[in-house]
Structure 1
Amino acid sequence: MMRGRSRSSISRSKERANMSFFIFIMFFAVFGVIMVTEFLLLEKHNGPARSRYEELQSWDGKASHEGVTEKQLPAQAPQDAVWQPVAGTRFKFYVYSAYVERRTVAAVRVIGATKTRGADSVFCRIWLPDNRTITLRAKVQTIRENWNLKYSAVYVLCLLSKTGVKPKDTIGATVAVIATADAATPPSNLLTVIDTKPKPGIEGALHVCVKPFHFHYGRSEWLIEWMELNRLLGVSHFYMYNKTMSEQTTCLLNHYREHYGLVTLLPWNLPIISVTEIRTEGQFAAFQDCLYRSMSSAKWLLVVDTDEVLIPRRERTLPALLEGLSASYAPAKVPAAFLFRNAFFYVLWEDDPQAPAKLLTACKTRRWTTPHVLKNRSKYVVRPRHAVELGNHFTWELLPGATSVGVPKDLALLHHYRLNCEFGGMSCVKVPSTVDRTAHQWSEELMKRVTAEKKLLAKACPKIFPA
């Protein structure tokens, strides 16, 4: 009898093990199909960067110019960094910001979100500073990384060919994206056109772009450490987008914005359902806005999440690393983007007994032995002036002739302080790991900075940051 029970128990254990293995394999299979579909369909519909550029040039030559007329600017003031609807379209269509485009084609480039394929045809109406008004047909260009969901981040290109208007003439202009060229139809959105020409004195300036905060983001304790470590590493500005965050995080970021001028914090209330209709909170629209918003003031732009830190392994700062990498190429061959490999430092792994401070980056030093390959979880630093379209783990489009290259892991590594195991449960226990104490180089100074900022926050926000 006991033997029968034992055999039955063994059989059930084997069945559970087989089922777990089957689920594990199916997860990878489904994930693989999604990724392959993403890349294949995106290339099919959008083509490689060069072909998209050539297509745009060709389309630009055929742009429909509807005429130059004198029209009074609408009474309401134009806005920037606010999601506004395009009325009269069949599908959801929203626009957020507008920028001067001089490099690929002569245009006003509008950041928006709408149908991934088969988007509505739209027009641009531009009220120029010299009191002229032009109405012209626009080109809607889908941002490639959208997982084939119904809606996607898009560019709306207001192409200026044959209008006699130069890109510089649109600086400070007001633009509306409209569903009809009928002059009697009032616009449902008005955007200020922002210049993108690099300003003097930005050599070495490194800025950071972060995807929108959501789910009432509230990891304030960690965010202080993350901000201060990035500042130690040479970051001089952060672009952040707020869907929802905790009261404590709001106070924290307002402190950095008001006290140091370090943060550009923008509202992000896109009325398209996240995950089911569009990629996470329309994050790729935020990346493109960040790219063009930083273009005039940053030499380098680092695109990372708030649980990631790019750590140089020989230099003390990231600008020093980037200058060293650039110097290894001939001036005309310097890459426009550098890609860095990702390694998980799981937060649930044990603390380092040699941690020199009570900081997450000091205590969590165990990581994957073998980092991910490039373009899988990697992040990047790009020169905004040479970029056209950003992705999550790599750049989708650079200017013609510009290149991106991977950086060896012995020069720099992306430390990814992940709260949960990659595949759920305790699967991370079986991952080959090693101890990496590179971040300890900054621990002493970092602890001083974090302590000082907490004291300032206790004065600025006494109710939510107690002394």
Structure 2
Amino acid sequence: MRLRARASNRANISFFIFVMFFAVFGVIFITELFLLERPTQPSRSRYEIDVQNWAGGRTERFASMEIEQASPAQTAQDGVWQPVTGTRFRFYVYSAYVERRTVAAVRIIASTKTRGPDAVFCRMWLPNNRTLTLKARVQAIRENWNLKYSAAYVLCLLRDTGVKPQETVGASIAVIASIAPNKPTTNLLLVMDTEPKQGSDAHPKSLHVCVKPFHFSYGRVEWMIEWIELNRMLGVSHFYMYNNTVSDQMGCLLSHYKRRGLITLLPWELPIVSKVKIRTEGMFAAFNDCLYRSMPTAGWLLVIDTDEVVMPRQKRKLTDLLSSLTDTYTLPSKRPAAFLFRNAFFYVPWKDDPESKAPLLTSRKTRRWVKPHALKNRSKYAVRPRQVVELGNHFVWEHAPGANSVGVPVEGALLHHYRLHCEFGGDQCLSVPSIVDRTAHRYTNELWERVKSKVKEIKCLNLHVDRLWVDSAV
């Protein structure tokens, strides 16, 4: 009897477990169906069916439909954030460039959801009045810190269209949500070329600089004059800058250099919350826009912050150093596409150098870490723009086929990082092993004359030479 009772209890328990399993499964199914966020891919629309047929080789119906598309009413723009209408998540586009190296496409700089972005397609109006609808591939730029939104590429693919990449230069292109193909277009970009034009001032030794967007009313005016003039002494001929917000004085200074053709200054009003939803003002979209924007004119592109200077140790100019490094590789096919420079902190709170001959930051702050950081850890780099595909903050994420990066020994150059605050907090940086490095002193005399001249020249700054650095924390 006891054995029968035990068997009966086991059967009841098994049945109860069986029922509970299906009950839990049912609850999960209903929750997924009705309560949770629906997947990013909508049900198949007529448009998607047409795209799939076209991608499979059946193009006649698709192409004839697209030829009849009217030209957009708005004017194509470059370097302005524009929204993609009808998407479930935020989706903005900024600029468009011809891509010839990795795939035949138009490459669009964008910002959107990092994972599971909305499905989109591209519509392009060519200069010869032909209209194309292109399949699009959305790729998050790798360095996104796992935040909800990321800088991204939208690749508008030209495969099977019969259109060559160079034929898209000057075209107008829009990104359109697949779930809202018939809504009015809210973005229109001008397709820019990435190849040097005949007769342009592009030179294989020219050096341009790219920095991340200015924000929080950036206003280190005195340091910015020193930083720009020092980089010019090092061989830099052009700067790419993105303005979210700067102080009035800084706006005056940047406008001065812009009028002289030394700065490309672009607006940067990305409506995604910085550091909460996206990494620091969408800085990786800016870096990669700078990469493609510089391709027609820059031989080298140096990616640094405005508190950093790549200081050659033996050569006087960075351009000479880059040429020397390149020439060490006898075969052109083996020459690196990027050179990485190791970082060393020069903490601004550390005491001034008693041998400083000018109030310049680079002259006063000569104490640095004994041991620089390892490569790819806070390092910065110079690249051949047309030989790389995707930039990160401290290294290149993707090279063009066959290209690579190489680290530069400290004996060749060092990244001087004039850091305002100690990342360890308080006075803990005082205990960091340090040495005095006066490499920057060889530029002091000429640099000081340049800075004083600019202060006198730019009247709207309202600065006085005898007060430089006195009223400023740095």
Q: TM-score, normalised by structure 1?
A: 0.84
C-alpha contact (below 8 Å) 1:237/1:263 kept by paired residues: yes
Aligned match for 2:176, one of 167, 175, 178? 178
Secondary structure at the residue paired with 1:169?
helix
Equivalent residue of 1:91, what SS?
Answer: coil
For the pair 1:85 / 2:89, whether they are aligned, the reply is no
Matches within 5 A, 1:87-102: 87-102=85-100
Is the CA contact 1:64–1:136 (under 8 Å) kept in the aligned structure 2? no
Q: Which moved more, 1:329-338 or 1:317-326?
A: 329-338
For the residue of structure 2 that corresponds to 1:222, the secondary structure is helix
Counterpart of 2:224 in structure 1 is 223
Larger mean Cα displacement after TM superposition, 193-202 or 427-436: 193-202
Matches of 1:71 and 1:451, distance apart in 2: 58
Deviation by residue 1:82-130 (Cα, 9 ceiling, x = unmatched): 1100011110000000001111111000000000010011000000000
Aligned partners of 2:86 and 2:179 also within 8 Å: no
Amino acid at match of 2:434: S
Residue 105 of structure 1: aligned partner: 103
Aligned counterpart, 2:311: 311
Deviations 1:306-354 (A, max 9, x none): 0000000011101100000000012221100000000000000011111
Larger radius of gyration: 2
For the residues of structure 2 that align with 1:466 and 1:368, how far apart are their CA atoms?
33
The answer on 1:422 being equivalent to 2:423 is: yes
**Could you tell me which of 119, 140, 143 is aligned with 1:142?**
140
Root mean square deviation of aligned Cα: 1.6
Give the whole-Å Cα distance in 2 for the aligned partners of 1:217 and 1:380: 24
Task: Please tell me whether residue 295 in structure 1 is matched to residue 284 in structure 2.
Answer: no
Q: Which amino acid aligns with 2:72?
A: P
For residues 373-397 of structure 1, the C-alpha deviation after alignment (integer angstroms, 9 at most, x for no partner) is 0000000000000010000000000
Preserved CA contact (<8 Å) 1:171 1:194? yes
Give 1:148's aligned amino acid. Answer: N
Q: Distance in 2 between matches of 1:220 and 1:63?
A: 58
Quick check: 1:142–1:152 contact (8 Å CA) kept in 2? Answer: yes
> Which residue does 1:451 correspond to in 2?
452
TM-superposed deviation, 1:414: 0.2
Superposition pairs of residues 116-195 of structure 1, within 5 angstroms: 116-180=114-178, 184-195=182-193
SS of alignment partner, residue 176 of structure 1: strand
Change (3 A) 1:250 1:100: same
Question: Could you list the per-position Cα deviations for residues 44-78 of structure 1 after superposition, in whole angstroms to 9, with x for gaps in the alignment?
Answer: xxxxxxxxxxxxxxxx9879974241333212111
* Counterpart code for 1:222: W
- With over 3 angstroms needed to count, the CA separation of the structure-2 counterparts of 1:63 and 1:237, relative to structure 1, is farther
Deviations along 1:265-324, one digit per CA (max 9) or x if unpaired, are 100000101001000000000001000000110010000000000000011101100000
Say if 1:63 and 1:161, in contact at 8 Å, map to a contact too. no
CA 1:64–1:77 in structure 2 vs 1: closer, same or farther (change >3 Å)? Answer: farther
CA drift at 1:419: 0.5
Q: Which residue of 2 is the match for residue 241 of structure 1?
A: 242
Question: What is the CA–CA distance in structure 2 between the aligned matches of 1:377 and 1:304, rounded to whole Å?
Answer: 10
After superposition, the C-alpha distances for 1:19-42 in whole angstroms (9 at most, x for unaligned) are xxxxxxxxxxxxxxxxxxxxxxxx
Q: Tell me the SS of whatever aligns to 2:237.
A: strand
Please tell me whether the aligned partners of residues 248 and 465 of structure 1 are also in contact (alpha carbons under 8 angstroms): no
Equivalent residue number for residue 33 of structure 1 = none
Q: SS of the counterpart of 2:119?
A: coil
Given the superposition, is the C-alpha separation of residues 353 and 61 from structure 1 closer, same or farther in structure 2, using an over 3 Å criterion? farther
Unmatched runs of 5 consecutive residues or more in structure 2: 1-53, 466-474
What's the secondary structure of 2:122's corresponding residue?
strand
Aligned to 1:29: none
> CA separation in 2, counterparts of 1:371 and 1:426?
20
Helix, strand or coil at the partner of 1:419: coil
- Report the Cα distance in structure 2 between the residues aligned to 1:316 and 1:416, rounded to whole angstroms: 19
**Aligned-partner Cα distance in 1 for 2:425–2:375:** 23
> What secondary structure, in the 3-state scheme, does the structure 2 residue paired with 1:178 have?
strand
- Name the CA shift for 1:275/1:182 in 2 (closer, same or farther; >3 Å): closer
Give the percent of matched residue pairs that are identical in Structure 1 and Structure 2. 65
Q: For 1:205-259, what per-residue CA distance to the aligned partner results, in whole angstroms no more than 9, with x for missing partners?
A: 100000000011000000000000000000000000001110000000000111x
Does the 8 A contact of 1:135 with 1:181 survive in 2? no
8 A contact 2:301–2:385 mirrored in 1: yes
For residue 356 of structure 1, report the CA deviation from its aligned partner: 1.9
Partners of 1:267 and 1:109 in 2: CA distance: 20
CA distance in 1, matches of 2:236, 2:446: 16
* AA in 2 matched with 1:82: V
* Contact residue 237 and residue 262 of structure 1 kept, 8 A: yes
CA contact (8 A) 2:344 2:415 kept: yes
- Report the counterpart of residue 275 of structure 1 in structure 2: 275
The answer to which of 314-323 and 196-205 deviates more is 196-205
Hey, what's the Cα distance between the residues in 2 that align with 1:180 and 1:435? 59
Map 1:13-32 onto structure 2 (within 5 A): none
Contact 1:70 1:131 in 2 (8 A): no
Task: Provide runs of 4+ in structure 1 moved above 6 Å.
Answer: 60-65
The aligned amino acid for 1:150 is: K
Mapped to 2, the partners of 1:70 and 1:393 lie a distance apart of 47
Deviation, 1:465, is 3.6
